[in-house]
Structure 1
Amino acid sequence: MTRVAFQLQVRPELLDEYIARHTPVWPEMLAEIAAAGRRNYSLFLAEGGTLFGYYETDDDAAAQAYLAASDVATRWEAEMSRFFVDLAGRPDQAARPLLKVFNLEAQLTAAESTAS
């Protein structure tokens, strides 16, 4: 399993509308995200519009390719692109991935195997 975290910047003047557009997301888009193999997908919005996203997948490249080819995802991302600052391309394809520096489960497993 791969854990993916990313960051985007939402335009501050569009924060309320951005939140409203995700309450709820189109049912067909939810189905496409799941069909792409992404799960445990969450978005977190900080003050000022910094958006952090997280999801898990078995094959991120395949999930990206699936969504890139999806007509539903193309329509959704076209509508969402205006919400973001300095974004070149579709939000789902241009988000900046974050570097994972810590995972509790992985370190506990490593510590247990070292102790054995």
Structure 2
Amino acid sequence: MRYCFNLQVRPERMAEYVERHQAVWPEMQDALRATGWRNYSLFLRSDGLLVGYVETDDLAAAQAAIARTEVNARWQAEMAEFFTGIDGRPPDESFVLLTEVFHLSEEK
């Protein structure tokens, strides 16, 4: 299944946020893959709106699996300072899911 979500990056931290994501820890990438996250992308608008896209068989299960990893706990702790509106929760537990309203299929 496809999932899309958004978060808000602090405008004054956007450059560093981008920098950090150009060098995501290999062990974090491995953990995401191992816990069912596929085709995972993040897009950042100039005002700090972050839009994420991920494919997974079961988002709740993928989130629970990644949450059990030590590397994710470290990554989320480091990333939390970049976001507004997460109220002390880890970013990966704070995103707002968007509803898919259209998808162009490969088939006619």
User: TM-score normalised by the shorter chain: which range applies?
Assistant: over 0.9
Alignment match, 1:96: 96
Counterpart of 1:9 in 2: which secondary structure? strand
What is the letter of the counterpart of residue 10 of structure 2?
A: R
Deviation at 1:33, TM superposition (A): 0.6
**Superposed, which structure 2 residues align to 1:14-53 within 5 Å?**
14-53=13-52
1:70-102 CA-to-partner distances (Å, cap 9, x unmatched) read: 110011001000000111311111100111111
Alignment match, 2:74: 75
Counterpart of 1:87 in 2: which secondary structure? coil
Instruction: Determine the C-alpha separation between the residues in 2 that align with 1:80 and 1:54.
Output: 18
If asked which structure has higher relative contact order (CA below 8 Å, sep 6+), I would say 2
More helix by share: 1
- Size of the aligned set, in residue pairs, is 107
Instruction: Determine the C-alpha separation between the residues in 2 that align with 1:68 and 1:30.
Output: 14
1:44-94 CA-to-partner distances (Å, cap 9, x unmatched) read: 001110000001001212101101111100110010000001113111111
Instruction: Determine the C-alpha separation between the residues in 2 that align with 1:42 and 1:53.
Output: 6
Structure 1 segments unaligned to the other structure (5+ residues): none
Counterpart of 2:2 in 1: which secondary structure? strand
Counterpart of 2:84 in 1: which secondary structure? coil
1:54 aligns with 2:30: no
Alignment match, 2:2: 3
What is the letter of the counterpart of residue 90 of structure 1?
A: P
Runs of 4+ that moved beyond 2 A: none
What is the letter of the counterpart of residue 92 of structure 2?
A: D
